Amino acid sequence: MKQEIKKILTEALADMGVVDLDPVVEISDMPGHGDYTTNVAMHLTKILRKSPMAIAEEIVEQLEKDNRTKKGEIERIEAVKPGFINFFLSDEILITHPNLNNKIIRSRIKSGMTETLGMTEKKSGNENATDEAIRSKRDPSPLAGGLGMTKKKKRVMIEYTDPNPFKELHVGHLYSNAVGESLARLLTYTGNEVKRSDYFGDVGMHVAKSLWGLLKKMSDEKTSLSNLAELSLVDRIHYLGQAYAVGAAAYDDTTEKGKRVQEEMKDINYLIYVSAQEYMKKQFGWHPQVDYAKYITTSAYSLPEIAKLYQTGRGWSMEYFESVFKRLGTTFDYYYPESIAGEYGAQIVKKYVGSVFEKSEGAIVFRGEKYGLHTRVFINSLGLPTYEAKELGLAIAKHKDFKFDLCVNVTGNEIDEYFRVVLTALQKVEPELAAKIKHIGHGMVRLPEGKMSSRTGNVMTGEWLIEEVKNKIYQILNTSKLISQDLDKDDVAEKETIAAIKYSFLKVALPSDITFDLDKSVSFEGDSGPYLLYAYARCRSVMGKWTMDNGQWTMDNGKQKRENTEERNLSRILFFFPEIVEDAGEHFAPNTLCSYLFSLAQTFNLLYAKHEILGNTLRLLLTKKTADTLKKGLYLLGIETVERM
């Protein structure tokens, strides 16, 4: 409907001599001021040399005299001071629109086996990571249908979460996952082919610090890898996190002892790169592109020793990440390790030395100052690719696997400047590819203790936050009558927990920082995930008490008369759902969908509180469609519903 109103507005403006103007039409926040509104008249005062109100009245006159509005859809149009034009939809269109009668909703999301190209962690096989198909099964979507879009379908890859092996997944990774998963679902629902990818740092100094710390910690505690293997997965991961903290602290030591430790870690770092190559050759038949072994001279550490530590810890980390991804409802199509991205990137950088990159003090750099940015190192003085070079290689590898029209990288906004430099460098070597890549930065998650950090061992892990929220949810469920005794309380608590966290993240507009308020996040009465789940369960409860006559709705083509404003307001907000979803996907803004769903739940709860629903066909229909819309909307946020409470 928004596009239809823009179309007739454009035609009316053309008759007034105004062309090449794209009028902005918005959903009205207040039903009394119309269902749609535009302030286009206020932008024409200099062109038409009239007051905004006079222009608005002239536009309304043009619309009405030419009968451009479809009969039965727009009830009336009005001009109001200082120059707004408000459009009021008819009751008929509100009751017969597709979101109520399902006439034109088309299925966009298919469940079952999804063929993917790229890499997936597996225990055996020799598939080339970037050349052969590997299958992965995605959980079936609960959506009954998607949006039939007129815009050209795009092939989209979304990269998000990106935790690092040998370190625990922290709260910021939860935020990245929530944003990326929601964007993937929104863009799929609006008609695009979407693939999900995860980029993880399996090489680099953070791994060297972890392995050095692991060796030190095992030696001090007189334990071994075989002993650690007997621990639970969670305990093993905690041990790796503690080992990283030990290594990071030792690396930062400025004494002579600290300098010796730094040299030891450099030796370990080279061995890690070779170990990663050996792992990729064994698992995926990878053909190394860079000879890292030539950098190894003498070392106190042997390659077999480091390789065993590396491969074991990497395996534990990936298993741990998958357990968290499962809780979050994410299944990735592609996995990209830094070890492979770095090899691609190193080749690219070396190829363009002298034209795009230049040598400087034993390293290879990109002079960003030429483009209003800053200089960054792409190959360090040790001959190893930096994050920047790996990012170049990652872009190449992803496009090789999946010929995307758009690739969205979701990360924390603290690396916004880094991405500007990398994308500028990529534009110089692969301009067409660079134009297809978009970076979306999100803010920091702040808790009462302050900004999180994994360097000291006091990391605020993702699982820590999940368990904190879950404990709070349990307290509420145990001290209230919100849940039936016959339900699986742990299942309900888990869904409420993930809903509380994801909604708290997604309701805030990007790229703002978030202050996570535990009490507000778990509230069943405010702007929260649990509130929306409770509203959905309430709708399902009402429908469960009603038996359809022969399985049919008693409809009379929209001629039902509304008895109150609550019915119209609920019909109105249901009408807007497809446009809200399209807007959220187009502008990469899940927060707009959050606001919509909260408003929908509030509007339904008001109808529920003021009017009897059972026995009234229209209200039953509105209740059913509210449930359907809440379920779809929550799914698009990555949130699973609770059918009963």
Same domain as 468, residue 417: no
Element (H, E) at 95: helix 91-96
Q: Judge whether residue 139 has pLDDT over 90.
A: no
Average pLDDT, the chain: 86
Reported confidence tier of residue 108, pLDDT bands at 50, 70, 90: very low
By mean pLDDT, which of 60-64, 67-71, 360-364, 453-457 is the weakest? Answer: 453-457
What is the distance between the alpha carbons of residues 169 and 152, in angstroms, rounded to a whole number?
37
Is 251 within the bounds of a domain? yes
Q: How far apart are CA 332 and CA 476, in angstroms?
A: 33
Query: Comparing 91-100, 119-128, 596-605, which segment has the lowest mean pLDDT?
Result: 119-128
Average pLDDT over residues 262-287: 89
pLDDT one-digit tens code per residue, 602-613:
999 999 999 999
- Residue 312 is assigned to a structural domain of this protein: yes
For 606-617, give the DSSP string: HHHHHS--TT-H
For residue 283, the model assigns a pLDDT of 82
Whether 115 maps to a domain, the answer reads: no
**Does the predicted TM-score (pTM) go above 0.85?**
yes
Position 383 scores a pLDDT of 87
Task: Report the pLDDT value the prediction gives residue 70, as an integer from 0 to 100.
Answer: 61
Residue 30 and residue 76 in one domain = yes
What's the confidence (pLDDT) of residue 31?
82
**pLDDT, tens digit, for every residue of 307-356?**
999 999 999 999 999 999 999 999 999 999 999 999 999 999 999 999 99
* 331 within some domain: yes
Q: What is the mean pLDDT of residues 202-230?
A: 96
pLDDT at 452: 44
Expressed as residue numbers, the domain containing 42 is 2-89
Mean pLDDT across the stretch 404-429? 96
Provide mean pLDDT across the span 173-190: 97
- What ranges in 352-415 are assigned the alpha helix state H? 387-401
Position 99 scores a pLDDT of 64
Contact by Cβ (8 Å): 133, 284: no
Last residue of a domain, one of 58, 89, 120: 89
User: What CATH number does residue 584 fall under?
Assistant: 1.10.730.10
Please check whether residues 383 and 306 belong to one and the same domain.
Answer: yes
Q: Does any domain span residue 321?
A: yes
Task: Please list, in sequence order, all residues whose beta carbon lies within 8 angstroms of the beta carbon of residue 385, skipping any fewer than 6 positions away.
Answer: 342, 343, 345, 346, 349, 378, 379, 393
Of 85-94, 305-314, 634-643, give the lowest mean pLDDT range. 85-94
Higher pLDDT, 15 or 421: 421
Statement to judge: residues 438 and 466 lie in one domain: no
The reply to whether 531 and 421 lie within a common domain is no
Greater pLDDT, 642 or 122:
642
Domain containing residue 385: CATH number: 3.40.50.620
Give the range among 298-302, 467-471, 490-494 with minimum mean pLDDT. Answer: 298-302
Alpha carbon distance 422, 348 (integer Å): 13
Q: In total, how many domains does the chain have?
A: 3
CB atoms within 10 A of CB 314: 23
Give me the pLDDT at residue 71, please: 62
Quick one: pLDDT at residue 90? 86
Boundary residue ending a domain (89, 121, 140)? 89
Mean pLDDT, range 24-42, rounded to an integer: 91
pLDDT value, residue 114: 29
Question: What's residue 100's pLDDT?
Answer: 60
- How much is the pLDDT for 243? 96
Asked whether residue 304 carries a pLDDT value surpassing 90, the answer given is: yes
pLDDT at 133: 27
Q: Average of pLDDT values for 81-92?
A: 90
- Cis peptide leading into 511, omega within 30 of 0? yes
Kindly state whether residues 342 and 249 are assigned to the same domain.
yes
Let me know if residue 222 belongs to a domain.
Answer: yes
Same domain, 324 and 412: yes
Asked whether residue 459 carries a pLDDT value surpassing 70, the answer given is: no
Q: Is residue 201 predicted with pLDDT exceeding 90?
A: yes
* pLDDT score recorded for residue 281: 86
Omega of the bond prior to 530 within 30 degrees of 0, cis? Answer: no
Q: 348, 392 in Cβ contact below 8 A?
A: yes
| pLDDT band with cut points at 50, 70 and 90 for residue 558 | very low
Q: Which residue has the tokens 């390293």?
A: 363
Let me know whether 440 and 484 are in one domain.
Answer: no
pLDDT value at position 547?
Answer: 57
Kindly state whether residues 401 and 492 are assigned to the same domain. Answer: no
E-strand stretches of 513-615: 514-515
The residue-averaged pLDDT of 85-92 equals 88
Instruction: Note the pLDDT tens digit of each residue in 614-632.
Output: 888 889 989 999 999 999 9
- The full length of the chain comes to 645
Q: Is 159 helix (H, G, I), strand (E, B) or coil?
A: strand
Last residue of a domain, one of 446, 476, 497: 446
Residues 486 and 402 in one domain: no
Q: Which tokens is 185 given? A: 């679902």
195, part of any domain: no
The pLDDT value given to residue 126: 36
pLDDT (0 to 100) of residue 46: 87
Mean pLDDT of 465-490: 87
Between β-strands 406-412 and 445-446, what pairing exists: parallel, antiparallel or unpaired? unpaired
**Are 498 and 439 found together in one domain?**
no
Are residues 305 and 404 both part of a single domain?
A: yes
* d(C-alpha 309, C-alpha 271), whole Å: 11
Asked if the structure places residue 641 within a domain, the reply is: no
Share of the chain above pLDDT 70, in %: 85
